[in-house]
Structure 1
C-alpha cells in the first residue's frame, strides 16, 4: 500500500461528533459571550515527524471552505427537531476561523491551542484530533491493514455484539485512523449490525449513511458551569440549563465530571425521572451500575425503565461482562470508539484536546478542571483541582 502525503481535507462541516452540535446549540442560546481556551495533550508521548506542524497548519487553514449544505441542514431539521431553526440558520452561516488555532512544533513534540468565543471554538476539538491522526500515520510511514481486513474485523465484532443481544453505537471520530477507515466501519456496521447497531456520533456519516446521529453533552459543559457558578452548583445548573434548551430530548446525563458520587447526590428525583439515563465514562463499570441501580430504587424509579450508556474504552470482553451483570436489572447500551475506528494493526494515538480555561461574560479568565472517577486521573490546573476536591469533599 502506498503512503499518501497529501494534505487531508475534511468532507463536511458535519464531520464532527453530534454532542458538539448539541452543545453548540445550547451555548449559542445561553452563553453567546463566553470565551474558551483548549489545549492538545499528548498523553501517549508520541513523537511527531518533521514538518508535522506545518502540514497540520495547512489542513486547518483549508477548513475555512467548509459550509453546511442545504441538504445537510434539511437532514438536521428532520432528524433533530429539537434543534431550533434559528440555530440551523446560524450553522448554515458558520465557518471555521483558523486564527483561533495556534500550532507549533518543537523537535518531535506538537503544540496545539485554541482560543475564542465558546460558541465558535467548541467545534474545533474533534476535527483537529481526526486530522492529527489522518496526518500522523502516513507521515510516520506507518501502513495499516487492507480495506478488506478492516471490514472483516468490524464485521466480526458487530456479529459478536449481535450474539450478545446488545445495542452498540459508534463513537470513534476523535481517534479514528482516517476518514476512509471510519466510513468503512460505519458501512460495515450498518450492513451487518441490524438489530444491534444504533447509529454513529459522526454527523456527516450519519447523514451520508442514513443512520441516527447519537450524543448529548460532554465534560466541558459541566466544567464551564463549575467555573461560572461554583463547583457545588455545576451539575445541578448544567442539567437545568440542558433541560431548559432541549425540554426532555437528549436525555442521557454525563455523570463523572466531578465524580459520580457527587453527581448522584445532586441527581434528585426530578432529574432522575426526567432524564432517560446516565452515561458512564470512567471508573469501574460494574460498581457504577450497582450504584446507579441503587439510586433509582432509592428514588422509587424502576431501573429497567432507565438506561446506562457505557463509553469508557470498551472492547468485547468488557461489554460482555457489563451486559451480563446488568441483564434484567437496568437498560444498557454501548458507545464504542477507538476499538472500532482505529483497529487497523497500528497503535492508536493516545491524545485529547481539553478545555483548560473559560471567560464567562463580564468575568476574568479562570481555569476549568475535571475530577474523574479514576483516582489520579483528574485533569486541569493543579491548584484548582485541589480547590474543587476541598469544596466537594473528594479524597482520591
Structure 2
C-alpha cells in the first residue's frame, strides 16, 4: 500500500458497521453521533503524522461501492435490502466529518455527523492510523513468505484443536498488504477451521463469509435514547425488528455481563443464536452463559459463544478445553493474526462518546465492560450509569 494512500476498497471495513448502518438508516435516520480516538498504549506519533493521516482521510472521499461489490453483498447477505444497497451505492465519505490535530507526539482525532454516515469511519481510520504509524516510524517487518508461513502454522494449530476461527483484525492490522497475506494463508490452509472474516473486502477477495452483527455503540446509543436500564432490551428488540432472526449473535458486555443476562429473558435467549464475549475472564463468562441457558430450559449445545477478546493460541486452547461438550463455540481472532509481524501492535480504539438521538442536546455515552480498564466515556456519565444499573 503506497505511503499516505487512502483505502483501496469501499468494503475495506468491518461487516458490523454495515449491518448497524442499515438498522440506523431505518430506525434512527436523524440521529447524530460523535466519536473520539483513545490512545490506550500512549503511543507517541512522529512529526507530520496528522498531515499524513489528513491526506489519507481526504482521499477516502474517492471511494464508492462498485457493481461487483454490490453483487457480492446481494449474493451473500440477503438481509441487506435493496433500498439500503442503493443508499450504499450513493454514499460518499465526507472528510469534513473527521477532525485531526497533533500536539507534539499526541494525536487527536474526532468524528461527528449524522449517525448513519459517521458510523463507517471508525474502522478505516484506525487501520490508517496503524499503517501510517509503522510507515512513518520506519518500522520493519518479517518478509511476505514469513507472514504466510506464520499464519499457516497458526491456522493449522487451531484446526488441530478442532475449533472454528474467523479473522477479526482490520482495526489494528499492521498494513493492508499484511492483511491480504494473512487472509491468503488462512484461506489456503484453514480448511475445516477458517470460517470467514469481519472485513467485507477481504471476504470478497477470498470468497468467504463476511461475519459480524453489532458493536457496543448500538447499545450505547440506545442508552442515550431510552436510558441505561432499557438499553440492552430495546437494543435487542430493535435488532430483531430489522433482522427478523438473522445476524443472531448478541454482544453482552456494554453494561457488564451481569446486567445483560438479567435482561436477556427467555424470548431473547431462544431467538438469538448466541452471544459474543469481549471482556473479562472468558471461562467465568462461559460458565455464566451455560448456567443462564440451563436456567431457561435451553440446551447450551444449541447455542454459540463467539469469543473475541485479545485471543492467541494459548487462550483459545484453554477456552476450548473448558467448553468442550458444554456449549458451541467459535473464535474471532484479530491483532494476533494481522499484526504479528515484528513491531509491537498498537493499543488504540475509537469509541462513540456522545449521541444526539433526536433534535436536541448531545448526551454522553459510556461503555462499562467486565474489565474496568475498558470503561470508556465521561466520568460523570460512568458514575450515573453505575448508579442507575446498581453496578459496584
The answer as to 2:66 corresponding to 1:72 is no
Query: 1:333-382: per-residue Cα shift (whole Å, max 9, x none)?
Result: 00000000000011111100000000011331010000010134321000
The whole-number CA distance in structure 1 between the counterparts of 2:86 and 2:59 is: 23
Alignment equivalent of 1:42, drawn from 39, 44, 65: 39
The whole-number CA distance in structure 1 between the counterparts of 2:258 and 2:155 is: 33
Equivalent position SS for 2:4: coil
After TM superposition, the structure 1 = structure 2 runs for residues 382-393 of structure 1, keeping only pairs within 5 Å, are 382-393=379-390
Runs of 4+ in 1 over 3 A off after TM superposition: none
* Aligned match of 1:116: 113
The answer as to 2:309 corresponding to 1:290 is no
Between the two proteins, the alignment pairs up a number of residues equal to: 392
Equivalent position SS for 2:145: helix
TM-score, normalisation: structure 2: 0.99
The whole-number CA distance in structure 1 between the counterparts of 2:155 and 2:239 is: 33
- C-alpha displacement at 1:78, in angstroms? 1.1
After TM superposition, the structure 1 = structure 2 runs for residues 1-396 of structure 1, keeping only pairs within 5 Å, are 6-395=3-392
Q: Which runs of 5+ in 2 are unaligned?
A: none
The whole-number CA distance in structure 1 between the counterparts of 2:146 and 2:65 is: 33
| Contact 1:155/1:192 (<8 A) preserved | yes
Equivalent position SS for 1:216: coil
CA RMSD of aligned residues (A): 0.8
- C-alpha displacement at 1:73, in angstroms? 0.5
- C-alpha displacement at 1:196, in angstroms? 0.3
- C-alpha displacement at 1:138, in angstroms? 1.4
- C-alpha displacement at 1:304, in angstroms? 0.2
